[in-house]
Amino acid sequence: NDCGDAGEPSSDSLVSDFEISRILRDCAREKIIFIHGKVKDQDAVVILEKTPIRQDTLSELLKSSQLKLQIKNDVYSTYQLHAPAHLNEIKTTVVCPATEKHVKKYLHQEVFLVEESGEDYRNLTLPYISSQSFSVQWVHNILEKKAEADRIVFEDPDPDTGFVLLPDFKWDQKQVQDLYLIAIVHRRDVKSLRDLTSEHLPLLTNIRSKGEDAIQRQYSVPPSKLRVYLHYQPSYYHLHVHFTSVEYDAPGCRVERAHLLSDVIQNLQADSSYYHNRSLAFPMRADDGLLLKFKEAGKV
Amino acid sequence: NDCGDAGEPSSDSLVSDFEISRILRDCAREKIIFIHGKVKDQDAVVILEKTPIRQDTLSELLKSSQLKLQIKNDVYSTYQLHAPAHLNEIKTTVVCPATEKHVKKYLHQEVFLVEESGEDYRNLTLPYISSQSFSVQWVHNILEKKAEADRIVFEDPDPDTGFVLLPDFKWDQKQVQDLYLIAIVHRRDVKSLRDLTSEHLPLLTNIRSKGEDAIQRQYSVPPSKLRVYLHYQPSYYHLHVHFTSVEYDAPGCRVERAHLLSDVIQNLQADSSYYHNRSLAFPMRADDGLLLKFKEAGKV
């Protein structure tokens, strides 16, 4: 397995051996690019993302960089700044070997809003999810400390109400402006929002209070600065809760995909079967197999 | 004028002489930072922005960079990439001398998430809104055709369930990618989401169906491509509904401010007093007078 060796020299070559086939998506505003290619005959996706500008190294950055004047007009001047590499990192993510699913995930696609009734969930979505048997092995690795154990910020080991809190992959933890953590529950029997009933209220309130406490302790970010929510559809079917800075325009925090934990808790308190019966709207990409199911059923 | 010389040596020193006073704004997602400071006793603002990743130099970037492995889990690996400076520029803008107006323009206001119970609404928010007597004269002008009559896309004149549909100011109508329309109700007795009961269901379902129809007719955008929602808090207290393209990252469509019309309708169908009694979370800027009321009451 050419991708399997985690040692530094070969990790270098994993990227330097990467042959570009095509650009999957280019987010100029966020300075992210998704590239499809090959590493020694294996499909791979490489994601490059420029990192946020670090406040703690700003003085050093300004003092130690080279500047080239571009435009000068009245009180405004623009420059190209050439920074020392260690002050201007590019976050690189490699998925290798990448499946067709990975490639599709990153490819830019048209988006539709689907309204899924409780019945649609049981007749269309649940059979589809089950048939796909999405792997959550990487989640189990985290819960069992087989991977990323050193990244865990907080853990409540209770099998029913417990969870593991750790930084999301997308967050480099260098600044709290884009704070992003995930709470992953220890229970393995809750796929998503749709499975939640009032039975899960102790779990949800525990995640909220202990998650907020841990973040306040670790990062000095108070609860009033946090957006705490679930995704529907989630990107993996093992219950997890997102904690992001309310000032950060986090991907996936728009109203059509995110559900505030405080709303979820109140809705379940009022009606245990709220998420069983309600129509839930969510966005779907044109290439999503589930969208095809909804189209075949005449629901879109 | 120490900032006036556009020659290269002094342009370098314009930035290297810059003494940082404070960060005005930090946009982690866009990798932009706004800094206030001094250049030899003159006020200055420096804006640093990482540049989009260039497709034309990608191969060179991957081949000529240093990589350091960060995390490895299953098929996923992340690295820090140290790129040659000329392939990883930072766009630098200097405003010097900067006026107070420049500084205010770039200054970020801290944002807090407030949870407002039904009681908080009646005790704090409603008295505050009333005391401010925010003018909605411009809304009445539209409803009475005294202004913007030529911009109306659709109207249902019914005094109870009717509304006027017109493009939002932010939309130039040049392309449907950022489609943004507003439906303003003819009724003048509904300030916001908080006033809605099951009595208003005919109004809400009418807005949804006739609004969607009108947008399909006029712009060929089907209902499955639309995000239809209300804001809480709204920016003006006369009930209105937002229609935006689901692919457009419209301002104000994040979960903490937007409420999907389809959810609002279902919630009122289940419980006429849903929006009377629920705690609703919403974001508030530090300079908002209402936030002060919540702080005084010990709610934030």
Reading the block at residue B186, the tokens are 């003819």
In whole angstroms, how large is the CA radius of gyration of chain A? 22
Find the largest Cα–Cα distance for chain B.
Answer: 71
Q: What is the spatial distance between Cα A135 and Cα A195, in angstroms, rounded to a whole number?
A: 18
Mean pLDDT of A130-145: 90
Q: What is the spatial distance between Cα B74 and Cα A137, in angstroms, rounded to a whole number?
A: 9
Mean pLDDT of B87-92: 95
- Closest-CA distance, B125 to chain A, in angstroms, reads 18
Q: Is A254 helix (H, G, I), strand (E, B) or coil?
A: strand
Contacting residues of B for A29, CB less than 8 Å apart: 30, 52
Q: What is the pLDDT of residues A45-62, one digit of tens each?
A: 999 999 999 999 999 999
State which H helix or E strand residue A211 sits in: helix A201-219
Per-residue model confidence (pLDDT) at position A28: 82
Q: Searching chain A, which residue's CA lies closest to the CA of residue B280?
A: A263
Helices and strands of chain A, counted as H and E runs? 10, 14
Contacting residues of A for B91, CB less than 8 Å apart: 78-81
User: Is-contact A173 A53, C-beta < 8 A?
Assistant: no
Contacting residues of A for B75, CB less than 8 Å apart: 3, 95-98, 102
Given A58, A84, A281, which is nearest B260 (Cβ)? Answer: A281
HEC-encoded secondary structure of B97-144: CCCHHHHHHHCCCCEEEEEECHHHHHHHHHHHHHHHCCCCHHHHHHHC
Mean pLDDT of B227-240: 96
Mean pLDDT of B68-81: 92
User: Is-contact A267 A274, C-beta < 8 A?
Assistant: yes
Mean pLDDT of B7-17: 59
Contacting residues of B for A60, CB less than 8 Å apart: none
Q: What is the pLDDT of residues A67-119, one digit of tens each?
A: 999 888 888 888 999 999 999 999 999 999 999 989 988 998 889 999 999 99
Given A97, A225, A226, which is nearest B75 (Cβ)? Answer: A97
Q: What is the spatial distance between Cα A67 and Cα A83, in angstroms, rounded to a whole number?
A: 9
Burial class (CB in 10 A: 0-12, 13-18, 19+), A7: exposed
Mean pLDDT of B252-268: 98
Per-residue model confidence (pLDDT) at position B9: 37
Please state, rounded to an integer, the average pLDDT across all residues of chain B.
91
Say whether A36 is catalytic: no
Query: Looking at residue A13, what DSSP letter applies?
Result: H
Q: Do B113 and A256 touch (CB under 8 A)?
A: no
Q: In which band, very low, low, confident or very high, does the pLDDT at B10 lie, cut at 50, 70 and 90?
A: very low
Query: Looking at residue A149, what DSSP letter applies?
Result: G
Please identify which residue in the block is written with the tokens 């499975």.
A195
Q: What does chain B look like in DSSP terms, one character per residue?
A: -TT---SHHHHHHHHHTEEEEEEEEEETTTTEEEEEEEETTEEEEEEEEEPPPPGGGHHHHHHH-EEEEEEEETTEEEEEEE--GGGS-EEEEEESSPPHHHHHHHPPPPEEEEEE-HHHIIIIIHHHHHHHT---HHHHHHHTTSSSGGG--EEE--TTT-EEEEE-TT--SS-GGG-EEEEEES-SS--SGGG--GGGHHHHHHHHHHHHHHHHHHH---GGGEEEEEESS-SSSS-EEEEEETTS--TT-BTTTEEEHHHHHHHHHH-TTHHHHS-EEEEEETT-HHHHHHHHTT--
State which H helix or E strand residue A207 sits in: helix A201-219
pLDDT at B68 over 50: yes
Per-residue model confidence (pLDDT) at position A9: 37
User: Is-contact A21 A44, C-beta < 8 A?
Assistant: no
Q: Do B82 and A80 touch (CB under 8 A)?
A: no
Q: Is A299 helix (H, G, I), strand (E, B) or coil?
A: coil
Residue percentage of chain B with pLDDT more than 90: 77
User: Is-contact A11 B79, C-beta < 8 A?
Assistant: yes
Q: What is the pLDDT of residues A59-77, one digit of tens each?
A: 999 999 999 998 888 888 8
Q: Is A52 helix (H, G, I), strand (E, B) or coil?
A: coil
Per-residue model confidence (pLDDT) at position A155: 98
Burial class (CB in 10 A: 0-12, 13-18, 19+), B288: middle
Looking only at the bridges linking them, the beta strands covering A154-156 and A163-167 are: antiparallel
The residue from B36, B231, B238, B240 that is catalytic is B240
Question: Which of A210, A245, A213, A247 has its CA nearest to residue A229?
Answer: A245
Q: At what angle do helices A261-270 and A201-219 cross, to 10 degrees?
A: 160
* Residue A137: half-sphere exposure toward Cβ, Cα within 13 Å: 6
pLDDT at B2 over 70: no
User: Cβ atoms within 10 A of the Cβ of B9, count?
Assistant: 8
User: Is-contact A294 B224, C-beta < 8 A?
Assistant: no
**Interface-testing mutation among A26, A75, A105, with chain B (most B C-beta atoms within 10 A):** A75
Pairs of residues, one from chain A and one from chain B, whose beta carbons lie less than 8 Å apart: 300
Q: Searching chain B, which residue's CA lies closest to the CA of residue A78?
A: B93
Q: What is the spatial distance between Cα B220 and Cα B225, in angstroms, rounded to a whole number?
A: 10
Given A84, A113, A278, which is nearest B224 (Cβ)? Answer: A113
In Å, how far are A139, A188, A211, B114, B117 from A208, measured between CA atoms? Answer: 20, 19, 5, 15, 18
Reading the block at residue B211, the tokens are 């609004």
Q: What is the spatial distance between Cα B40 and Cα B254, in angstroms, rounded to a whole number?
A: 42
Q: In which band, very low, low, confident or very high, does the pLDDT at B11 lie, cut at 50, 70 and 90?
A: very low
Q: Do B12 and A67 touch (CB under 8 A)?
A: yes
The residue from A200, A240, A242, A259 that is catalytic is A240
Q: In which band, very low, low, confident or very high, does the pLDDT at A13 lie, cut at 50, 70 and 90?
A: low
Residue percentage of chain B with pLDDT more than 70: 96
Please state, rounded to an integer, the average pLDDT across all residues of chain A.
92
- Closest-CA distance, A104 to chain B, in angstroms, reads 16
Given A89, A110, A113, which is nearest B80 (Cβ)? Answer: A89
Domains and CATH numbers, chain A: 1-51+90-98 (3.30.200.40), 52-88 (no CATH), 109-296 (3.30.428.10)
Reading the block at residue A135, the tokens are 């792997």
User: Which residues are within 8 A (CB) of A282 and not within 5 positions of it... i.e. 6 or more apart?
Assistant: A113, A114, A116, A232, A233, A256, A257
Contacting residues of B for A97, CB less than 8 Å apart: 75
Beta bridge partners of B243: B181, B228
Q: In which band, very low, low, confident or very high, does the pLDDT at B6 lie, cut at 50, 70 and 90?
A: very low
Q: What is the pLDDT of residues B152-206, one digit of tens each?
A: 999 999 999 999 999 998 788 888 888 999 999 999 999 999 999 999 999 999 9
Contacting residues of B for A15, CB less than 8 Å apart: 62, 65, 67, 79, 81
Given B16, B88, B254, which is nearest A90 (Cβ)? Answer: B88
In Å, how far are B24, B27, B33, B34 from B105, measured between CA atoms? Answer: 9, 14, 13, 10
Query: Looking at residue A144, what DSSP letter applies?
Result: T
Residue A181 phi/psi, 5-degree rounding, is: -125, 160
Q: What is the pLDDT of residues A179-229, one digit of tens each?
A: 999 999 999 999 999 999 999 999 999 999 999 999 999 999 999 999 999
Q: Searching chain A, which residue's CA lies closest to the CA of residue B30?
A: A30
Looking only at the bridges linking them, the beta strands covering B154-156 and B111-116 are: unpaired
User: Is-contact A233 A192, C-beta < 8 A?
Assistant: yes
Contacting residues of B for A263, CB less than 8 Å apart: 281
Q: In which band, very low, low, confident or very high, does the pLDDT at A10 lie, cut at 50, 70 and 90?
A: very low
Q: What is the pLDDT of residues B116-133, one digit of tens each?
A: 999 999 999 999 999 987
Q: Searching chain B, which residue's CA lies closest to the CA of residue A47?
A: B78
Residue percentage of chain A with pLDDT more than 70: 96
Output the CA torsion sign for B256, B257, B263, B269: positive
